[in-house]
Structure 1
């Protein structure tokens, strides 16, 4: 089974080539095969430097176990994979991504209503799986009651993002050049992402191949290097706060954390929270707080894994399937 690539034109920030800008997603399952009635969509959204094919294993497991019509849509966020790059690097951020995906949700509901003849687009149950950045986008959308997300899986992310992890990520995003061979690229990515935990050579190959695009003289990563600019600006601001004698210099950063907690506490959908036990981005303390606040997430931690679980190992895939496929 192979997924089908789709695109949707979206407004907002322009693409590097001008208008119209498009976002891409890979679809597992068939909209045409859905009956005239309620159906389920699982929307999967990747982390900062990743892309939609990260969810291949999870998507196939969900389809194999589903007891009702199911489609799994895995999105390439703007600037990644098959989605257009943005002309303005400053637009690479959660507000742009959330606006794009809110339009995709509306598109899915409208198509479902038209196909079923239903006047109730809410008959389409939409669940969300978000890794890291994808989880932040999911939080932003799930906090809006009108968007009707049914269940939410947050993979190694929460309202408090550890500064040390941001500094680590900022050291490599957008800095890699071309690789002479696919094998060189796979080896480099496996080393870079060793926090993912143990994987077989075959798993590293499957996780790494979609990360690459051919260029003259070798292979480059799929994403626009400019996605690094907002992150580096954020890290620089944090470092400035750390060295500032005036405590009020950190007000903006603390306000950002408060806003994320406010969004999280506005979520009414059930939440499954996944955490790598060695994660440097989502602390154990923050994860525990998330089980006590807002939607009171159910927490699962995976030993020997950092940031972030790849949702490839059976012990990671199984609880996500159980959570999303429950009645």
Structure 2
């Protein structure tokens, strides 16, 4: 298997965008991976390698303000419409005309938002712990930490911080799991640990309040009715309720559901039982 390759692509407004490509084109559908709100390409390293080993070309995108993509001085550009425009630029530059989309959290939202206008690009969808209707408690929790995590003294300290904050969502994580999470959350620059994303991304959730009813995306979800669909849901998630998952299955009768016990938001896609199901799902989309 070839080593992953980084690409740096210019967005419509000149900002640098980073994407990582795994595998080669063996004639099957490529896979596009879209991360969560404040996440990077590292979240998909395991599943991308598994899919590449299965003969797939995989493209993982970092939105502006995340990872090695440029940070935007205009904070208003940290919004889904700009992120979709950026994603389309990456697809066109890397000649990805049609693919299976794997969207974690924010990435799943972007996929649903693209469905009405860019449906021809979408051959199938894996939604990782996200749906067209969200629970406000999960959004409030996300608002509480995005761009606001304590400054760790070391990666081990970062692991302890993440464990304290998120152990209720991931009670079975090992010390190695928390350390791996910390290595994805912070990076070293000039001897100091810095977040792997622009802390100003907190602007994207600044208006979230506990008494709100979040807007829904059922119309956009319904635009996926003709597409193969898989929902991966953590049993301990506070973002997508079991009632919403059931409603999704009723509106999309062919939807495949994987629910992972003792895991919250989002689910780790490199878990062997999940990765194997995703590989099989992608193969089925080739038909």
Say whether the fold is shared (TM-score over 0.5): yes
SS at match of 2:276: helix
Does 1:275 pair with 2:207? no
8 A contact 2:34–2:103 mirrored in 1:
yes
SS at match of 2:59: strand
Q: Among 117, 134, 137, which residue is 2:107 paired with?
A: 134
Alpha-carbon distance between aligned partners in 2 of 1:325 and 1:207, rounded to the nearest angstrom: 29
8 A contact 1:156–1:307 mirrored in 2:
yes
Q: Among 261, 265, 287, which residue is 2:245 paired with?
A: 287
Query: TM-score normalized by structure 2?
Result: 0.90
| Superimposed CA distance per residue, residues 99-156 of structure 1 (whole angstroms, 9 cap, x where no aligned partner) | 11122222233xx7xxxxxxxxx5xx41110111111011112332554211100000
Q: Decide whether aligned partners of structure 1 residues 319 and 188 sit closer, same or farther in structure 2, where only a CA change above 3 A counts.
A: same
SS at match of 1:40: coil
- The root-mean-square deviation of aligned C-alpha atoms, in Å, is 2.2
Alpha-carbon distance between aligned partners in 2 of 1:96 and 1:323, rounded to the nearest angstrom: 29
Equivalence for 1:43: 32
Q: Among 222, 234, 259, which residue is 1:265 paired with?
A: 222
Unaligned runs of 5+ in 1: 13-19, 113-121, 242-249
Mean CA deviation greater in 71-80 or 174-183: 174-183
Alpha-carbon distance between aligned partners in 1 of 2:77 and 2:114, rounded to the nearest angstrom: 18
| Superimposed CA distance per residue, residues 4-24 of structure 1 (whole angstroms, 9 cap, x where no aligned partner) | 211111114xxxxxxx20211
Unaligned runs of 5+ in 2: none
Equivalence for 1:59: 48
Equivalence for 1:94: 80
Equivalence for 1:219: 193
Equivalence for 2:20: 26
Alpha-carbon distance between aligned partners in 1 of 2:94 and 2:191, rounded to the nearest angstrom: 40
Q: Among 68, 87, 101, which residue is 1:82 paired with?
A: 68
8 A contact 1:131–1:308 mirrored in 2:
yes
Alpha-carbon distance between aligned partners in 1 of 2:227 and 2:239, rounded to the nearest angstrom: 23
Alpha-carbon distance between aligned partners in 2 of 1:296 and 1:212, rounded to the nearest angstrom: 39
**1:121-160 equivalent positions in 2, closer than 5 A:** 125-145=98-118, 147-160=120-133
| Superimposed CA distance per residue, residues 62-84 of structure 1 (whole angstroms, 9 cap, x where no aligned partner) | 12233xxx211111111110111
Does 1:169 pair with 2:114? no
Equivalence for 1:8: 9
Equivalence for 1:313: 271
Which structure dedicates a bigger proportion of its chain to helix? 1
Equivalence for 1:181: 154
SS at match of 1:324: helix
Q: Decide whether aligned partners of structure 1 residues 324 and 207 sit closer, same or farther in structure 2, where only a CA change above 3 A counts.
A: farther
Q: Among 190, 193, 212, which residue is 2:166 paired with?
A: 193
Query: TM-score normalized by structure 1?
Result: 0.79
Q: Decide whether aligned partners of structure 1 residues 264 and 146 sit closer, same or farther in structure 2, where only a CA change above 3 A counts.
A: closer
